[in-house]
Chain A
């Protein structure tokens, strides 16, 4: 060591240059500089107090500039939120809610006297009822193929664990067709339970804007089945899933209703056992009079799917249990009770749902009655369909069917059709009954359509394109005087049905109507934000901290002016927008103008934001070509592979660039880290979760199998490997610059490793849960798991944050009185007589980087806990790859040149590892169950935060690492402020560089977000909109918001503490 020491100063401060400090550039300015730093170490300082004051001033200035910098980024976040909000408002489909209600005394035929009714059943409602009572059982996520015998589509297919467990539905439908029928029951996406319940009770189509409200259901205002039952004075009991309570508050019989929490997907049995416990007593003869309709909602199948996937013994057991429940119900009901069993949606191959793939929308519907009222129209339809795509009925068909069977009016908004099996009669020839109910349903559809058109104020022509079908049918009906013979009834029935289906088609199209001006407003704000951000990040040449003051004041002025005028416009009714919306939009526009004057106002410090190096162009090519790719569904589907391709390209080019470095150390280390970077990326790419569209060219490895959502036993070794390897790897990177000193050894070697160990134990316990390997009850295990998880989170966030704020930089400073030190080249004669003090500082070569990296370690620990074992391996690789990237940046002199490639590659890494932690740009890939890792129940705001930590973990970790792209091995600039005429302020320079790096990182995500937004808007009539473009837009927008917030709250804020800590020792 000592031979490399360089004398720095007259009083012999010897700084030991770390042997692997590649940026030997650091040493040059040091030589020339005067020694008046290290205030904490100075033993014989003259005018110390004056300098202290000066340091204080500088520190205050740094703190102030840092705060105002945060203000700039908050404004950027505001622009993004406003832009995304206005686009979303216009893009996510909305449908007007009509509050009209159907009533018994107002038949839907507006022109005909209610002669039909008077003739036969005065006491009846629209149609004679078939049943007095009903039990409606919803088995959440009951997919159609669970209920029919296994029928291979290809010869190679073999039965899986979920097949052939519920046999009762099929058996009864085949053996006693007059008592039961079983049909595929297709849901309208989004396939979330709340949306499905709305569809199943109102009979109308869901719109996308409702999808977000799954976590906090709101009451249904529209006419619906439950409201009709309530209005008819029926006693309604609800058991199970508490989503019903949120949708239909006050409709249920409070004494008998038992809601259960629906979001604890780790719990397979509580809800189901609770429903059983309260359902069967109601069927006893003494209780039969207490209720009219029971809605029972079982969640076990859904939870088993979320937790284990369909092909799992737990799913088989759950389905068998449901089979048993249905058999018991059959045994207990009486003749006047209708029994309905249905799924509200299906599940995809891993057991999740939410989207619109076939597996997610294919549910099953089964109706049963002891009375024997069901029939089939022909011999071909005797057997239940083998596959879900044959003879299916839409889920909204349940509403008219159930209403008419129970003698209720059809809810006003219904668009469904009566199911023919329920009305054709046991003989299968009662066409007159069928045509009667179809006429009722058609008339109600027509009435609804008229009311909607009237309220909507749209021209009738388009809306009533289907009216021709109605008129044809009605004409034939009138020709038969409303009493058609069976033979004549068939075509009339067909015509009515055609009218209903045609109207349904029209409504689907109609409600896919977008508010294009609002979408354009959103895109405009986002685009302007990106242009300003581009100039701020890449065009401004001067110190960004100097720009901050005028920038913020002009932005503030524009914001206030715009906001005020927006409020005025809205108050004075000059615009149709709400006050909050109009003021937000105008505040955004005003502040954009303010920012433009600040940035473009002084052109001398502005240049065109064009890249000036190969790496700069590379960053542009990556971002732009990926953005263009989102216009195609193929490139959106294969985004994970494309990101790998880009990352490998960067690695190879970094290797090539490293080969050209002059210094041998730079060359060797650069090439080494480039190779490591590429290899790690390729290893990480082996962790995959395929989306449906990637099949058959993709094999999922994230879970034990493609039909499961649990890890394979061998995958449990991954967390332990991470625990063993990752801290050692980090130690290696620290040791390279002799920085494994001070807090580093404790925090990385012990704290981080301990946290990872506890995480590994947690996931082992998680895996053995339900397998009864340990003599502990499930409850005890759950308690232990929750404790362990909270322990890790405490370690990462509570202890970690404290350590981050208060710990000293990773340096070791030793002071020795010695004369043995070799003489410096030019000893200053005045001080040679004094006893020599040698101060040796190890680890100053990377003082900023190693200090700040603690924050990344904290987040890595917390995020790792939230990932499944495979994802934990991925997070370990991500951290390693980030470190390699930082070394590459350093050896290629990209740290000090503020190249845009560093933040951009971090952005690519964040996006890439999003896919490597078991996610896809689909709603069903959200790992909701991770909300229960450190909690037993849903708690706000923690549960959503935990799911965000799981979903966007990779982007968050990469965002934390963004300041490192300018801090890693950043030369420590120690200047003498008292004597220098043009004082440099290294802390402010650092802050400006951090701002530039952060803005560049945001720029990557903002560009991706703008691209996905624009393409989703442009392709809004595309067949694949809801499968591909819309989810990608939503994830892009969410990722941008998360990244913005993390950068503001943690990354940029964290720079304050780490810089203060460095400044405390080395001065300002």
Chain B
């Protein structure tokens, strides 16, 4: 993995030992993005607090009913605050020989994005709509991948950690779906299917940015969430 490291170090990060193939994902520099990136966790948490009793009372119906809201919140978050996959690098320049080229392209596209971002900050409705439409495709794509790939993988992991194998499948899958929406959706949206990045994700070697931190937090939270399961009160 070290061989694929770009020659220029990622900006604003102390280089960790195996340098990440992609710089940490930063929140888009628009005002909305900055504000919503802060509001988003609060919104998610308040959803939990607000629906907690009904989750306890009727978990299947409630978890199922919450999914659209969660999708909505996450979609606003990723589309509004995160750069979609490919926006930071040219898909053609992925070969090691093109790394120089890639870097140039990348900085160019970042500045382009910044310009666009500034534009959204002040400009008219129509520009905003165009931007949303432009981001809708990657969002929908990554949502599909989240449902088809990430959810089953997480469900299998849950079962491997001791979730019932023969019963309670609906609950396990719903839990996996929630976890996938929280962790994988932003990851897929920002990184697409870049093999090197995903190897770093599996190796837990990503820099701790908003996207990877969120995914890590989801998993650690789920792990700690298992602690009170045996309690009988």
Contact = CB atoms under 8 A, between A and B. Distances in A.
Contacts of A332: none
Given A659-B199, A662-B2, A685 B231 contact: no
B162 A644 contact: yes
Contact of B161 (A635, A649, A657, A659): A649
B161 A645 contact: yes
B223 interface: yes
B232 interface: yes
A652 B226 CA distance: 16
B18 interface: yes
Contacts of A483: none
Contacts of B18: 660
Interface in A673-702: 678-679, 681-682, 685-686
A637 interface: yes
B38 interface: no
Interface in A632-646: 632, 634-635, 637-638, 641-642, 644-645
Interface string B143-168: 00000000000000101111001000
Nearest to B167: A699
Tell which of B159, B223, B226, B230 has the most Cβ of chain A within 10 Å. Answer: B230
A966 to B, nearest CB: 26
B202 interface: yes
B203 A679 contact: no
Contacts of B199: 659
B161 A685 contact: no
Given A645-B162, A659-B199, A685-B162, A652 B230 contact: no
Contacts of A685: 162
Contact of A679 (B160, B229, B231, B232): B160
Tell which of A644, A651, A655, A659 has the most Cβ of chain B within 10 Å. Answer: A659
Contacts of B226: 645
B230 A656 contact: no
Given A634-B232, A642-B230, A686-B165, A656 B160 contact: no
Nearest to A660: B203
A202 interface: no
A648 interface: yes
B131 interface: no
A654 to B, nearest CB: 12
B20 to A, nearest CB: 12
B98 interface: no
A648 B160 contact: yes
Nearest to A632: B231
Contact of B159 (A637, A651, A659, A682): A682
A649 B202 contact: no
Contacts of B165: 682, 686
A638 B159 contact: no
B113 interface: no
Nearest to A694: B230
A638 B230 contact: yes
Interface residues of A, number: 25
B230 A648 contact: no
Given A656-B202, A659-B202, A634 B230 contact: yes
Contacts of B229: 638
Interface in B4-28: 18
A113 B104 CA distance: 116
Nearest to B200: A659
Contacts of A632: 230-231
A634 B202 CA distance: 33
Contact of A656 (B2, B159, B162, B204): B204
B205 interface: yes
Nearest to B223: A649
Contacts of A645: 161-162, 226
Nearest to B159: A682
B230 A659 contact: no
Interface string B204-233: 110000000000000000010010011110
Given A638-B230, A648-B162, A685-B162, A656 B203 contact: yes
A542 B226 CA distance: 40
Contacts of B232: 634
Contacts of A648: 160-162
A662 B161 CA distance: 28
Interface in A771-807: none
Nearest to B203: A659
Contacts of B160: 648, 651, 678-679, 681-682
A682 B164 CA distance: 10
B182 to A, nearest CB: 18
A326 to B, nearest CB: 42
Contacts of B157: 652
B162 A641 contact: yes
A245 to B, nearest CB: 45
A641 B230 contact: yes
A313 B93 CA distance: 75
A1023 B18 CA distance: 55
A490 to B, nearest CB: 43
A822 B157 CA distance: 50
A638 B202 CA distance: 30
A651 B2 CA distance: 25
A641 B161 CA distance: 9
Interface string B166-185: 00000000000000000000
A685 B161 CA distance: 10
A660 B20 CA distance: 12
A681 B157 CA distance: 13
A72 B18 CA distance: 43
B138 to A, nearest CB: 26
A679 B161 CA distance: 10
A788 to B, nearest CB: 35
Interface string B191-204: 00000000100111
B162 A637 contact: no
Contacts of B161: 644-645, 648-649
A634 B231 contact: yes
Contacts of A637: 230
A678 to B, nearest CB: 5
Nearest to A675: B160
A644 B202 CA distance: 22
Nearest to B205: A660
Contacts of A634: 230-232
A246 to B, nearest CB: 41
Nearest to A681: B160
A641 B230 CA distance: 9
A648 B158 CA distance: 10
Nearest to B158: A648
Interface in A617-673: 632, 634-635, 637-638, 641-642, 644-645, 648-649, 651-652, 655-657, 659-660, 662
Contacts of B231: 632, 634
B88 to A, nearest CB: 23
Interface in B116-146: none
A642 B230 CA distance: 9
Contacts of A678: 160
Nearest to A614: B204
Interface string A233-247: 000000000000000
B19 to A, nearest CB: 13
Nearest to B2: A662
B203 A635 contact: no
Contacts of A656: 202-204
10 contacts: A632-B230, A634-B231, A635-B230, A638-B230, A649-B161, A649-B223, A659-B199, A660-B204, A681-B160, A682-B159
Interface of B: 2, 18, 157, 159-162, 165, 199, 202-205, 223, 226, 229-232
Given A655-B202, A659-B202, 6 more contacts: A634-B232, A648-B161, A651-B160, A660-B203, A682-B160, A682-B162
Query: Closest 5 A-B residue pairs measured CB to CB?
Result: A659-B203, A638-B230, A660-B203, A634-B230, A648-B161
Interface of A: 632, 634-635, 637-638, 641-642, 644-645, 648-649, 651-652, 655-657, 659-660, 662, 678-679, 681-682, 685-686
